[in-house]
Structure formats: C-alpha cells, structure tokens
Amino acid sequence: MKIFNHLEFIRRPIYATILVFLVVITVMILSAGSGEFPLSPLNVVSALFGYGDGFNQTILIDFRLPRIVLALFVGMSLAVSGAILQGITKNPLASPDLIGVTAGASFAVVLFLTLFSDENNSLTVSIQWLPLFAFLGATITALVVFLLSWKNGIAPFRLLLIGIAVAAFMQAGTTIWILLGPIYQASQATIWTTGSIYGANWSQVSVLIPWAILLIAISLLLRRQMNILELGDDIATGVGSRVQRNRVLLLLVSTGLTGIAVAFAGGIGFVGLLAPHIARRIVGPKFQSMVLFSAGIGALLVLIADWIGRVAFAPIEVPAGVWTAAVGAPYFIFLLITQRKKGGA
Amino acid sequence: MLHTNTTRGWGIVIGTTLILLLMSASLVYGYTNTTWIDAYLALFDPTTSNKHLIIRDVRLPRALIAAFVGACLGVSGAIMQSITRNPLSSPSILGINAGASFFVVVGVVFLSVQSLQSYMWLSFAGATFAFLLVFILSSTGREGLTPLKLTLAGSAITALFTSFTQGLLVLNETALDQVLFWLAGSVANRPLELLFHALPYIIVALLIVFFRAKELNVLSIGDDVAVGLGQRTAWIKFTFGTCAVVLAGSAVAVAGPIGFVGIIIPHLIRSLVGLDHRWILPYSALGGAALLLIADIGSRYVLMPQELPVGVMTALIGVPFFIFVARRKLGI
C-alpha cells in the first residue's frame, strides 16, 4: 500500500502495534460519546477521570462503558484465538468458528432457551446463567473435537476435518431445536448466534477481563513454541521442541479464548478469521510480531461493529455480529488486491 | 481401496445400481404405507388412488431432486477443493450459498417474493453474482489469481453476504419465519419443474467436467509446474470454477443451501479411489447422490409425522461416518 511506503516506520511491528492501540482508544472514546445523549470526547475523558456532572457519569460508566470494555476484550480474545489456530493448522481458512467451538456454544444456548422457558416465553431461571451455559457448550465441544482427533497426538489437518464435522453436527442439532420450538425462540436464538453484546454489565466484564488477560499473556509466553510449530512437525521435533505438548497447550489457550468470548458476546463471527489475516498483511507473518497487532485489529472490528449496531438504526439495536464482517471484509479485500505478498498470508 | 481401473469401473456400475435402488426405496418408504408393488404400478400403470398420487406427485420429484442435487454438490465440492488447493473448500466457501441466501432474503424482505419459482431464480442469480465477485476480486492485483487469494476472497465475500443476511433476518421476524425452512435446505415439496429448469445446465456442466477432468490433475501439481507444461491455469480455473458454480448454484436454487455434502463427499471418495480426478468426479456425483437420498429417506422417520430438513439429516448421518474415516485414514 502506497501510504505505508511513505510511513515506513509502520512496518516495524512494535510501532504498528502501538499505533493500532491508539486507534482503539480513540474509537472507544468516540463510541462512548455517541448515542441517544451525545457527549463530546472531552466530556467523556473528564467523566472517566471523575469530573463532569453526575448524569454524564451515570450514562457513561453504568451503561456505555461496560459494553465498550466487553467489546474490546471480546475482539482481542477472538483475534488471538484465530491467530493461534491458523498458525497451528497452517490453514488460512481455520478459525474458531470453523472447528465447532462456536457451534457448541450456540447449541448450549438454544438448549438453555428451550429448557428453561415456560409457555409465555419467559425464562424460569435467571439470564445470568446463560454465559456459563455457553462456555460449557464451547468447552465440551472443543474437548470432544480434541478427543476424536487424538491418535498418537493431534495432527492439525485431522483436527480441522473433525472439527468441521462436529460443527456441522452441532448446527444440525441447533436447527432441530429451533424448528421444534416456537418462532419467538427462533428469533432469540438467531440474535444470539449472530453475536451481540447488548446489555453488558460490569459483573460480566469483571469475569471476562482476568481470563482474557491471563490467556493472552500465556499465548505471548508461548510465542517461540508457536513459531517453531509453524515450521512443521519434523523440524520442530528436530530442534527439540515437544511438539504435541505445545500444540495441545496452544489449542487449549485458543479454545479457552473463544469460549469466554462467545459466552458473553454470542457467536460473533469472522473476527477470528479476518483479524489475523489483516495483521499478517500489514506486519508480516511472524507470530510474535503479529499476535498483538491482530488483537488490536480484532478489538477494532468488534468495537466499530458494536458502535454501528448501536447508533446506525437507533432505537433498534442491530447485533454487532452483523457488522463485524461488513466492516472487516471490505478492508480485507482491499488489502488482498492492493498489496504484494508479504511472506505467507 | 480400489486400485485398478477395472475395479474402479465396476465400482461405477455398482454405484449406479445402488442409486437406482435408493431412488426406488425413496418412492416406497415414508409416512403413507406403500409397497414396492404400489411403486411399480404407480409408475407404469397409474390409477388415481391416493397411494399412486403420493408416489407419483410427492415422492418421485423428491427422489429425482435428491439424486441430482446430491450429485451436483459432490462434484462441485471436488472441483472447489481442487482449484483452491485447499481440502477444506466447498461450494459454500466461494460465496455461492451465502450469495444465494442473501438474494433470496432480500427478495423476501424488500420485494415480498413468495413463490419457490422466484426463490429459484433469485438464488441462482445470487450464486452467480457472488462467484463473479470472488473471481474478479481474486484476479485483481499484482500476483494474479492464486489459490490462496481465491480462498481468502471467497471467505471474505461469504462473511459479507452472511452478515447482511443475518442483519436482515434479525430486523425482520416475519421474513425469518418464512425463509427459515428454505435456509435449512430441503428436497421435499419442491415441484419437479424446478429441477427441469435447472437440468439442462446441470447436464452440460457435468459433461464438460467429466470429459476434461484430466486438466484438474495437471492443476494439482501446482501452478508453476502446470504453466511450465504449457497449461493455461487461469483458463482451466475459470472453466472449472464456472461449471462448479453452475452445479452448486443449481443445487441451491432447487433445494436451498445444503451444507456439508460438498465438503465431506470428496474426502470420502479420495480415500476410496485415489487422486485421479477422472475417477474422483464421477464417484463424487454418485456419493453425493447416495448421501442425499439416504438422508432424505431418514428425514421422514426421525420425527414422524413431522419431517426434518434434509440438510440437518445429512449432517446427522454423514458426521459419524466421516469422523470414522478421518480417524482411520489420514492420507487425504
């Protein structure tokens, strides 16, 4: 891209990463300021630091901020999860959605909605349990996929094929439940599977943040093992890497990240697929240099998608999952056709 | 498993016989009790009795549609995996199903389209539009058309159309109610005319790919070598891509988006007959037809008297079998 040729420093991953997170912060402030009661960026910042009037603070801190912070961490988790998975499998189509994690969570949610509803379509248990159900669905499905693909270790390609198969199976199960249930539940389930962070609150955020930070930190610690794995099993074994142990460890981190993200945000798709590709095209394919950058891109995708979903058709909320691809795909296609190949893509 | 051309040839004969048997079984088994004799009489000496009407007007179209749609999906999946050189490709990865679904949902939401006939033309238009978009986008730029760019552009376009479709459905509950069954994919209650509209295109595309299957073998040794051998790889990709779109587009136009057949059948077939596309393509046609026929018969029995969408049933039947094969053989 031409403008990057002029700004050569941006190719240094460290500067690029700093830049992308500055953009993330800007988008967060702008997004926090817009809505039914618009606030100027200055008001937003001063309210955040405890100045400004109480009304602004209530709107900002109780309503908008939990949502924005949730979007930030959901986006980062999904992107890192996708970066790990694409690296391990060496397949550009790999993403957390593909190997059944999201499908498992969707199935659990649809099950939850049908099992705990009475005739009037109101829930008989608190909606607070929904994230736990979704997380369990995601984790159990991931474990089933691992077990089924285990045969003297996990071969990445077998993992992908079996993951796709299990995903199809879970989707079939979801469709059956949806068709059997009333149309109201079908539309609830559709909203959930599309992915939305509507109604986020601080207690959700406080559960999500520690796990997201922990898992992302682990994946950063494992960056060398990740690079060695990308060279292929033979070389990795040859240089003394414990291939299977590292691979399983990284897979657990990746599915854990997807699990916590879908638990709170539903099946927000394409972030795990697109963000790592965008990152590779800009800062190159090395895992340690692209993983944080792609986390930033993922956060941007979800933040912008949620922002548009909140504001564009107000007062109707459009789930963020609708916009992630609408924002990310055109930019990705632009990169695809304008850029020369930078290493693997 | 089948190593010589003689056994592979016999396999085709046996497979075709199996398909005919499955189609007959599809006429006989279902909610209304009928016998094989009823089916025979209904075809060759029809009366206006209820049973004969059901066999001729309900089950015969179903059997034919399931067989042809399955064959189309199997063959187009095999072609897609070959031209993108990615074993995870399927018709849905080049945006075909997503484009078709998007056009149909737009038709339902904005144009109040209701007949299956118009769904058919809309989805065919959507499939073609999506593929052309993918093809043009992936051939633009300095590197030209590489398998990787085709795959990535395909998944980006798929993502885009899927999200538009979801957005429209989230905003419009009535439309969701109306198209939910179409979106799950089904071969039931489709008039035979739908298939007849698509049949000429299907047959031409099948003939072209069967007779030129050798060129796909050249493609699988890699673009550089293929160009070195004097092959026009972009042209081969375009021809086969177009045929695959015609096949997958017809399938989605007639039966709605049915996933999974296009991705697993080529894998199962490759583990059976090896890597020669002259055999992979016809076997994929038979395999796809068989899977869809079996799934369709099964879908009548799971929730009797209600029926499951066949797309759900292909997954329920195909997945356990596929996992078994994927675990046993890795040399795919």
Tell me the shortest Cα–Cα distance from B300 to chain A, in angstroms.
14
Minimal CA–CA distance to A77: which of A331, A329, A268?
Answer: A268
Phi, psi of A123 (to 5 degrees): -75, 145
Is the alpha carbon torsion for B141, B144, B147, B151 positive or negative? positive
Q: How confident is the model at residue A120 (pLDDT cuts 50, 70, 90)?
A: low
Judged by a CB distance cut-off of 8 A, whether residue B73 touches chain A is no
Question: Is there a contact between B83 and B241 (Cβ–Cβ < 8 Å)?
Answer: yes
> How do residues B170-193 score in pLDDT, each as one tens digit?
777 777 777 777 777 788 878 888
Secondary structure element (H or E) that encloses residue A17, with its range: helix A13-33
* Residue A342, helix vs strand vs coil: coil
Task: Please say if the pLDDT value at position B140 is more than 90.
Answer: no
Which residues, listed in sequence order, are joined to residue A75 by a DSSP beta bridge? none
Pick the residue from chain A with its C-alpha nearest to B157. Answer: A329
DSSP code for B221: T
Sketch the domain layout of chain A as residue ranges.
2-338
Residues in chain B: 332
Residue A343 has pLDDT above 50, yes or no: no
Q: A109 — contact with chain B (CB < 8 Å)?
A: no
CB contact under 8 A, A158 and B330: yes
For residue A313, give the chain B residue with the closest CA: B171
How far is residue A70 from each of residues A198, B2, B54, measured CA to CA in Å?
10, 55, 55
pLDDT for the residue numbered B291: 92
B176 Cβ under 8 Å from any chain A Cβ: yes
**What's the pLDDT score for residue A8?**
55
Cα A345 to Cα A280: distance, rounded to the nearest angstrom? 6
| Smallest Cα distance from B277 to chain A, Å | 21
Q: Delimit the CATH 1.10.3470.10 region(s) of chain B.
A: 71-257
Q: What SS3 state is found at A236?
A: helix
Decide: residue B2, CB within 10 A, 0-12 exposed, 13-18 middle, 19+ buried: middle
Does B266 or B55 have the greater pLDDT score? Answer: B266
pLDDT in tens, B185-223: 788 878 888 888 889 989 999 999 999 888 888 887 777
Q: What pTM was computed for the model?
A: 0.80
Amino acid, single-letter form, for residue B132: L
Give the model's pLDDT for residue B227: 77
Q: Are A158 and B326 in contact (CB under 8 A)?
A: yes
Please answer whether residues A85 and A142 qualify as being in contact, where contact means their C-beta atoms are separated by less than 8 angstroms.
no
CB-count burial class (<10 Å; 0-12, 13-18, 19+) for B305 = exposed
**What is the pLDDT, as a whole number, of residue B283?**
93
Task: Tell me if A161 and B332 make a contact (CB, 8 A cut-off).
Answer: yes
Rounded to the nearest angstrom, the minimum Cα separation between B51 and chain A is 28
Contact criterion met (CB < 8 Å) for B330 and A324: no
Lowest mean pLDDT among A48-52, B25-29, B163-167: A48-52
Nearest to A176 among B166, B167, B308 (CB): B308
The alpha-carbon gap from A337 to the nearest alpha carbon of chain B, in Å, equals 5
Q: B328 to chain A nearest CA, in Å?
A: 9
Apex CA A241: angle with CA A239 and CA A243, to 5°?
130
Q: Are B97 and B91 in contact (CB under 8 A)?
A: yes
Q: Looking at chain A, which residue has its C-alpha nearest residue B328?
A: A151
Angle at CA of residue A226, ends A225 and A228, nearest 5°: 65
Burial class of residue B43 (count of CB atoms within 10 Å of its CB; 0-12, 13-18, 19+) = middle
Q: How many residues are listed for chain A in this entry? A: 345
User: What is each CA distance from B90 to A159, A190, B21, B104, in whole angstroms?
Assistant: 17, 24, 28, 21
Give dist(CA A1, CA A339) in Å, integer: 6
CATH number among 3.40.630.10, 1.10.443.10, 1.10.730.10, 1.10.3470.10, domain B71-257: 1.10.3470.10
Split at pLDDT 50, 70, 90, the class of A344 is very low
- Rounded to whole angstroms, the Cα distance separating A72 from A90 reads 27
Is the bond leading into A131 cis (omega within 30 degrees of zero)?
Answer: no
**Region A52-59 average pLDDT:** 77
Per-residue pLDDT of B217-254, as tens digits, reads 888 777 777 778 777 777 888 888 889 988 988 888 88
Residues 183-202 (A) with a CB less than 8 A from some CB of B? 183, 186-187, 190-191, 194
Q: How big is the CA angle at A79 (ends B151 and A110), to the nearest 5 degrees?
A: 90
pLDDT tens digits for B53-87? 788 888 888 999 999 999 999 999 999 888 887 77
Mean pLDDT over B84-111 rounds to: 83
Q: What is the DSSP letter of B51?
A: H
A-chain residues near B268 (CB < 8 A): none
Alpha helices in B45-146 (DSSP H): 50-53, 60-83, 96-110, 116-139
Contact A326 B162 (CB under 8 A): no
* 3-state SS track over A255-317: HHHHHHHHHHHCCCCCHHHHHHHHHHHHHCCCHHHHHHHHHHHHHHHHHHHHHHHHHCCCCCC
Between A183-194 and A156-180, two packed helices, what is the crossing angle to 10 degrees? 150
Instruction: Select the more confidently predicted residue: B45 or B19.
Output: B19
How many CB atoms within 10 Å of residue A101? 33
Can you say how many angstroms the Cα of residue B159 is from the centroid of all Cα atoms in its chain? 20
Considering only CB atoms, A162 lies closest to which of B149, B169, B323, namely: B323
CA nearest A317 in B: which residue?
B171
Question: Measured between CB atoms, does A2 come within 8 Å of chain B?
Answer: no
Structure tokens at B138: 């992936």
Nearest by CB to A155, from B176, B319, B330: name it: B330
B85 three-class SS:
coil
**Pairwise CA distance, residues A269 & A262, whole Å:** 10
Cβ atoms within 10 A of the Cβ of B276, count? 16
Pick the range with the lowest mean pLDDT from A83-97, A330-344, B27-41, B283-297. A330-344
C-alpha span between A178 and A225 (Å, rounded): 42
Q: Does B264 touch chain A (CB under 8 A)?
A: yes
Q: Are A255 and A141 in contact (CB under 8 A)?
A: no
Q: Is the pLDDT score of A345 beyond 50?
A: no
List the single residue in B152, B176, B318 with the smallest CB-CB distance to A186.
Answer: B176
The angle formed by the CA atoms of residues A7, A11 and A16, to the nearest 5 degrees, is 90
Q: What is the DSSP string of B127-183?
A: HHHHHHHHHHHHHSSTT-S-HHHHHHHHHHHHHHHHHHHHHHHHH-HHHHHHHHHHH
- B152–A277 CB contact, under 8 Å: yes
Specify the pLDDT at position A300: 93
C-beta of residue B315 within 8 angstroms of C-beta of residue A171: yes
Q: How far apart are CA B191 and CA A169, in angstroms?
A: 29
- Maximum mean pLDDT: which of A142-146, A176-180, A234-238, A319-323: A142-146
From first CA to last CA, the distance across chain A in angstroms is: 16
CATH class entry, domain A2-338: mainly alpha
Q: What is the ipTM of this complex?
A: 0.74
